[in-house]
Amino acid sequence: MYRICSFFLLALAAAAQPANQPADVIWSGRYVITMDAQRRVIENGAVAIRGDRILAVGPKAEIDARYQAKQRLDRPEAIIAPGLINTHTHAAMSLFRGIADDLTLQDWLTKFIFPAEAKNVTPDFVRWGTRLGCLEMLLSGTTTYTDMYYFEDVVAEATKEAGMRGVLGETIIGFPVADNKTPADALVFTEKFLKRFQNDPLIVAAVAPHALYTNSDETLKASRALANKYQAPLVIHLSETKKENDDEQAKRHASPTKTLDDLGVWNGRSVAAHGVWVSEADMAILKARGVGVAHCPSSNMKLASGVAPVTRMLALDMKVGLGPDGPAGSNNDLNLFEEMDLAAKLQNVTTMNPQALPASQALEMATIRGARALGMEKEIGSLEAGKRADLITVRIDSAHGQPLYDAVSQMVYALKGSDVRDVMVNGKPVVRDGKSLTLNEQAILQKAAEYRAKVSASLKN
C-alpha cells in the first residue's frame, strides 16, 4: 500500500514539474547576462549544461528544480556571461610584446616587426607565443579568438591544447615569410589546413590574405575561391590607415573596400579588420555583402590610425565585433574588457555624444554581435539552450565591483579581465578560480623570458 502511494505521489510530482533531468554541470551566479534576443539579465540565475551544449538558462531555483547535475559551481558573488569573442588578433606576437612602441603602423611594421619576425619566427616560437596568447585570453574571459599569423597549423594545435575556440588563418602575403616563400605556397598550405581542421569542434579554419596592399589581385581572387570551396571565412585587414586609402585612390581611383568588391573578395563569409577609413559608400558595400567588421579601438588609438565610424555601422545594423589586434606594439595586450570600455568611450568622445556607443552595445560587440561578425551566431555569443557551452564567471566582490546597480554597465566600465574567475569552452572547464586548467602557466612564462633574451639579441645583429 505504502509503495503504491509513494509511486503515485512521485508520478504526480513528475507531471507537475519534470524534475531531475540529467545535466553534467550547473553554474549559478548572482547575475546571468544572457545576451539572448530579449537581452535578459537574470538575478540569481543559473545555466545547465550537458556535453558541449547549454541545456537551459533561467532563475537558479527553477534550474535546480528541473536538473540534477553531476557537478556544480555556485558563485553568489559573480556575474555569469557568455565567453567573450575576439574577432581579430595575432596571438603568437605576444612574444614581441613591447618590442617597439609609439610609432606609426608603417614604421612599426617595416622597421621592427618584419625584421624581428624574419629572424625569430619558427614553429617553436609560434607554439609558445600562441600558448602565451591563449593563456592571457582565457584568463581574461575570451573563449573564441580570430587569428592570422604564420605556422597557423601550430597555432591550431596550441589553441586545441588550451581548449579554446579559434577562427584561424595562415597569413597570405606578397613577400617571403618564415614558412611560405610565395603566396602560391601559402595557398597550398591553407588548403591542407582547411582539410585538416574540417569539422573540428574547436577550430574554424579560415583563409587569411593579409590585406589588399600586400597581395596581388590574383592572390586575393584565389583566396576567395579557396574559402568558398570549403565554406570557410576569409579574414583580411581593411582600410586600417589613411595611407592605405590614399595609395589605392592614387592607383585605381577607388577605396580598398570598392576594389575588393570589384575583385569579388566579399562574395562569401568575410571578416574585415579595422575598417577605420570607410566611407558611407564603403559601409553600404560591407553591409550588402554581410561582411563582419573587427573594430580594434586600442590599436587604432595607439597607432593613431583614426576612429572607425562604429556608431554609424551599428546604426546600419552591421556585424561589428571587437579585437585587440596585436599584442606586440599595437595594443599591447589581449584584453577584451579593455576593448569594450574603449570602444564606447572612443565613439563618445569623438562624436561629443555620451550616448554614441552605450555599454549595452559594447557588450554586444564582444559577444553576440562579434559572433555574427564571424558567422557563428547560431553556435556562440549568448547563453541560450542549444548553443555551445562557452561561458565565464566574473567576480564582483571587489572594491571596483561594488556597489552594483547594473550588471551590463559594470562589465563594460568597471570590471577588469583579471576579475574573470572561471571559464568553460565547449562544455569543458578551462579556467577555475583564476588558474588555467589546460596550460602550464609557469612553463609559458619561463619560455617568454627566454624568448625575450633571444629576440633582443637578434635585433642587435
Binding site for Zn ion (CB under 5 A): 325
| Pairwise CA distance, residues 90 & 324, whole Å | 9
Nearer to Zn ion, 67 or 151 (CB): 151
Residue 69 CB-density burial (10 A; 0-12 exposed, 13-18 middle, 19+ buried): buried
Q: Report the C-alpha gap between 18 and 460 in whole angstroms.
A: 69
240 within 8 A of 105, measured Cβ to Cβ: yes
Measured from the CB atom, the residue of 324 and 381 that comes closer to Zn ion is 324
Q: How far is CA 245 from CA 115, 248, 273, 302, 304, in A?
A: 25, 5, 14, 19, 15
* Least distance (Å) between residue 314 CB and Zn ion: 22
Residues with Cβ within 8 Å of residue 345, at least 6 apart in sequence: none
Shortest distance (Å) from residue 461 CB to Zn ion: 27
Q: Give the nearest distance from C-beta 173 to Zn ion in angstroms.
A: 12
Residue matched to cell numbers 576593448: 339
CB 53 within 8 A of CB 387: yes
Nearest CB to Zn ion, comparing residues 328 and 396: 328
User: Which residue has its beta carbon closest to Zn ion?
Assistant: 325
Smallest gap from residue 89 Cβ to Zn ion (A): 7
The helix, strand and coil proportions of the chain, stated in percent and rounded to the nearest 5, come to 45, 25, 30
Q: Check: CB of residue 237 under 8 Å from CB of residue 257.
A: no
Query: Which residue's C-alpha cell is 579601438?
Result: 297
Smallest distance from the beta carbon of 456 to Zn ion, in angstroms? 24
Q: Between residues 338 and 390, which has the closer beta carbon with respect to Zn ion?
A: 338
- C-alpha cell of 78? 559573480
As measured in angstroms, the least distance from the Cβ of 275 to Zn ion is: 12
Q: Which segments of 250-384 are extended strands (E)? A: 270-274, 292-295, 320-322
Shortest Cβ 90–Zn ion spacing (Å): 6
Nearer to Zn ion, 152 or 422 (CB): 152
Contact assessment for residue 50 and residue 23, using Cβ atoms and an 8 Å cutoff: yes
Q: Which is nearer to Zn ion, 214 or 393 (CB)?
A: 214
Taking Cα atoms as reference points, which of 251, 256, 166, 165 lies closest to residue 209? 256
Cβ nearer to Zn ion, comparing 34 with 144: 144
Q: CA-CA distance, 332 to 111, in Å (whole number)?
A: 18
Nearer to Zn ion, 255 or 300 (CB): 300
From the list 99, 137, 142, the residue with the least C-alpha distance to 121 is 99
Q: Cβ of residue 235: shortest distance to Zn ion, in angstroms?
A: 9
Grid cell digits, residue 457: 639579441
> CB 92 → Zn ion: shortest distance, Å?
12
| CB-nearer residue toward Zn ion: 60 or 210 | 210
User: What H or E segment, with its residue span, contains residue 185?
Assistant: helix 183-196
CB of 176 to Zn ion, least distance (A): 20
Which residues of 255-390 form beta strands (DSSP E)? Answer: 270-274, 292-295, 320-322
Check: CB of residue 423 under 8 Å from CB of residue 143: yes
Nearer to Zn ion, 52 or 147 (CB): 147
Residue 456 half-sphere exposure toward CB, CA atoms < 13 A: 8
Closer by beta carbon to Zn ion, 91 or else 415: 91
Q: Cβ(390)–Cβ(143) under 8 Å?
A: yes
Work out how close the CB of 274 gets to Zn ion at its nearest, in angstroms, rounded to a whole number: 7
